[in-house]
Each structure stands twice: as C-alpha cells, then as structure tokens.
C-alpha cells in the first residue's frame, strides 16, 4: 500500500474525491461557486478556451469521433498484454487502475470547467431582476412586442430564393464580439460542427464541451436561429451553465448588438419561448399575436418547423431524455423544461419597455 501511495495512479485517482468535495462545497457553501467562477474559472476558461480557439475546427468533434476507436484499441491492447503477462491478475488490476485514473481525470475536468458553475447565483440575482407572477395579459404584450421587433428588423435581412433568412459571412467572429461586449469577457469564437446533421438527428443545436472547452454549434439548422445558439453556447463558456440563464444572456447579447442578424435571432428565440407559453395559456390571444408577424418572419418560422419535422424519431426522443437526465443531475430540477424559464426573465426585463 505504501508503494501504491507514491504512484501517479494514486494521485490521479484522488482527483475523484477532490471533485466530489468541490461539488458538495459548491452546492452547500453559500458563495463558493460564485467565488470560483469569478476568481478561478474565468482564468481557467480564458487560457484553455484560447488555446483550443487556435484551431479553426472543433476539437470536441474530433475527440467524440475518435473516442470509440481509442477505447477499442485500449481494450485490445489490454487483453493482449494480459495474455502475455506471467502475472495476469496483477496485469488486470493495473489496467483497471489506469482506467479509473482516466475516469477520475475526466470527472475532475468536468467539475472544474462545468460542474461547479451549475451552483452559481442565477442571472436574475446577479442582474437584480425581480421576477414576479406573470398574467396572461403581460405575456401577450411581451409576445406582441417581440413580434414587432422581429418584424421590424426582418426587412433588413438577406433571403435565399425561397424567401428564408440567410446569414452573412463571419457569424462566428460576430458572435464572439457580441457576447464579449455584453459580458465584458474575452472568449474565443464558437466552432461549427462538420457533422451538424447528426446533431439534428439527436435534437441538439449546440454543445458546450467542458474538456476543451469549446462552444460547438449545429449549422445545419435554419440560419436565423444560429446566432442566438452561438451566443447561448458562449454564455456556457463564460460559466453561465443554467439553460434558462444562458438563453437569456444570448437574448440580451443579441438585441444589444448593432448587428441586425443577431438582434433578429435574439428576438425570434425569445418570441418562440414566450409564444409557446401564450399558446398554452390562451389560444385566442395566441391567434391575435400571430397577426403581428410579417410574412418574412412567418416564412422563417415555418421553415424551422419543417426542418425539425424531418428529424422526429425515437433517437431524438432518447437524446432529449438523456439531456433531461443530465440537467436534473446537475440540480436543474426542471430538466429540459428549464429552457422555457427565460420567459419570466424576458417579461421582467422588458416590463418598462412595453
């Protein structure tokens, strides 16, 4: 045992209890997670995000593609090594310890770059936004305001031959500037995923990969939704892990930019969440709200509905359930429903503007 305590394996394995202690501290010690994000994480993120940002492609995508092959090679190598070893039990034990070292390192990296930040103060608290119970009339007025803003901006955007909004060049750089300006941050650009259509089959529009750490974006989806998704994932890079908070930061980053394409994406994202809530609350008011949308916005929304209709499958449903379980495991009790909580934030923020 004394000999084992001096090995590298021991110290790697110790990362597991250290990770658990950090998560417990973040969850139960008031202010710990906020201190960590402000004074530690932002420097970790800044360093590694800029290192991975040197590469124009997604390192996360490469890792996820090659990982199964690496695992298979490791298993084959381990079996071969064990068969040749005179001390097979010792060889198997050593291989299991090596695997445990890898798992511990992965869990620690997740904790440092992601896990602790789930327990930081929410955006409503940090931005001093007072959320109150919302009436149907307030929800309706918010939907109308968002529809009017989106419709006013829509006329300035470029269209394809079918009259659907298309993005101008350099959207990744603009997304970086948009979020950095709003958050006073310094993160690198989001990465386009080559196999974006695979993400669509999994019902995923973007992924923050804490092991690189990178913002990865599905670019196969309708163009008008991409800027808000980019800003959402960059919010995660900046330590804002709750989905409703990341959506709200994306919304604010977009509408406060001087970029029509980003402003339109932000307003339409917020409008979709708010109008979905309105439809459940009062279908008559929802029908009236639709009249405030111009033809261009309606074409874009119809294109988005048609796009996602093609990817409805048991695979997408399973992926959604996995994402739901992941969010709940990180103390987001609403799971994937937490994406809709930004409606209350939006209404509270826009209250004086409507």
Does position 35 have pLDDT exceeding 90, yes or no? yes
Mean pLDDT of 169-197: 96
Sign, CA torsion 101/325/44/218: positive
Sign of CA dihedral 216, 182, 157, 269: positive
Contacts of residue 210, defined as CB under 8 A and 6 or more positions apart, other chains included, come to 109, 110, 113, 114
Q: What mean pLDDT is predicted for residues 309-336?
A: 57
Distance CA 271, CA 277 (A): 10
What pLDDT is stored for residue 3 in this prediction? 59
* pLDDT (mean) for 46-53: 92
Taking the C-alpha atoms of residue 337 and residue 243, their distance in angstroms, rounded to an integer, is 9
Task: Determine how many CB atoms are found less than 10 A away from the CB of residue 289.
Answer: 23
From start to end of the chain, where are the E strands?
191-192, 206-209, 214-217
Q: What is the dihedral of CA 343, 345, 349, 351, to 10 degrees?
A: 50
Name the pLDDT band for 286 (thresholds 50, 70, 90).
very high
User: Distance (Å, rounded) from C-alpha 324 to C-alpha 316?
Assistant: 12
CA distance 34 to 25: 11
Least confident of 113-122, 257-266, 320-329: 320-329
pLDDT band at 179 (very low <50, low <70, confident <90, very high): very high
Q: Are 217 and 239 in contact (CB under 8 A)?
A: no
Mean pLDDT for 20-42 is 96
Give me 72's structure tokens: 């298979």
Whole-number pLDDT of residue 196: 97
Average pLDDT, the chain: 89
Q: Kindly indicate the confidence band of residue 132, based on its pLDDT and cuts at 50, 70 and 90.
A: confident
Pinpoint the alpha helices (H) of 114-169.
123-126, 136-154
Q: Quick one: which of 89, 111, 141 has its CA closest to 17?
A: 111
Q: How confident is the model at residue 185 (pLDDT cuts 50, 70, 90)?
A: very high
Least-confidence region, from 4-8, 21-25, 176-180, 263-267: 4-8
**Residue 84, H or E segment:** helix 59-84
**Residue 302 — pLDDT band, cuts 50, 70, 90?**
very high
Average pLDDT in the 111-133 region?
A: 92
Give the pLDDT confidence score for residue 221 in this predicted structure. 97
pLDDT of residue 324: 54
pLDDT above 90 as % of the chain: 73
The pTM for the full model equals: 0.90
170: left (phi over 0), alpha (psi -120 to 50) or beta: left
| Range in 78-82, 105-109, 187-191, 348-352 the model is least confident about | 78-82
How much is the pLDDT for 335?
Answer: 41
What is the predicted pLDDT for the residue at 9?
82
Q: Are 33 and 120 in contact (CB under 8 A)?
A: yes
pLDDT number for residue 85: 74
**pLDDT at position 338:** 35
Angle at 97 between CA 92 and CA 101, to 5 degrees: 150
Pair 339, 273: CB distance under 8 Å: yes
H runs (alpha helix) in 184-259: 196-201, 226-237, 243-255
Asked if pLDDT for residue 137 goes beyond 50, the answer is: yes
| 63 Cβ contact partners less than 8 Å away, ≥ 6 residues apart | 209, 211, 212
Q: 17 pLDDT band (50/70/90 cuts)?
A: very high
């Amino acid at each position: 045992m004394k000999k084992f305590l001096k090995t590298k394996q021991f110290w790697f394995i110790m990362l597991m209890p250290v990770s658990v202690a950090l998560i417990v501290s973040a969850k139960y010690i008031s202010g710990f997670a906020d201190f960590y994000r402000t004074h530690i994480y932002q420097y970790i993120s800044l360093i590694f995000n800029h290192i991975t940002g040197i590469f124009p492609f997604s390192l996360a995508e490469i890792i996820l593609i090659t990982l199964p092959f690496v695992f298979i090679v490791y298993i084959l190598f381990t079996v071969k090594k064990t068969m040749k070893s005179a001390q097979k039990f010792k060889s198997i034990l050593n291989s299991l310890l090596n695997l445990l070292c890898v798992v511990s390192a992965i869990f620690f990296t997740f904790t440092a770059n992601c896990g602790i930040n789930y327990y930081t103060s929410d955006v409503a608290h940090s931005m001093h936004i007072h959320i109150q119970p919302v009436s149907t009339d307030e929800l309706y007025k918010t939907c109308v305001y968002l529809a009017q803003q989106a419709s006013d901006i829509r006329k300035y955007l470029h269209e394809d031959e079918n009259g659907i909004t298309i993005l101008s060049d350099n959207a990744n750089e603009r997304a970086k500037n948009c979020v950095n300006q709003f958050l006073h941050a310094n993160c690198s650009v989001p990465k386009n995923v080559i196999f974006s259509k695979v993400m669509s089959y999994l019902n995923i529009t973007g992924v923050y990969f804490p092991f690189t750490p990178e913002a990865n974006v599905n670019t196969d989806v309708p163009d008008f939704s991409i800027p808000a998704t980019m800003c959402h994932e960059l919010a995660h890079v900046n330590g804002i892990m709750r989905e409703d908070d990341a959506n709200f930061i994306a919304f604010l980053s977009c509408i406060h930019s001087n970029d029509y394409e980003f402003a339109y994406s932000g307003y339409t994202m917020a409008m979709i969440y708010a109008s979905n809530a309105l439809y459940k609350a009062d279908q008559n008011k929802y029908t009236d709200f639709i009249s405030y949308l111009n033809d261009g916005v309606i074409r874009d929304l119809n294109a988005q509905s048609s796009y996602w209709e093609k990817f409805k499958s048991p695979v997408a449903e399973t992926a959604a359930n996995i994402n739901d379980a992941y969010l709940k495991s990180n103390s987001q009790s609403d799971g994937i429903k937490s994406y809709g909580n930004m409606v209350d934030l939006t209404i509270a923020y826009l209250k004086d503007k409507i």
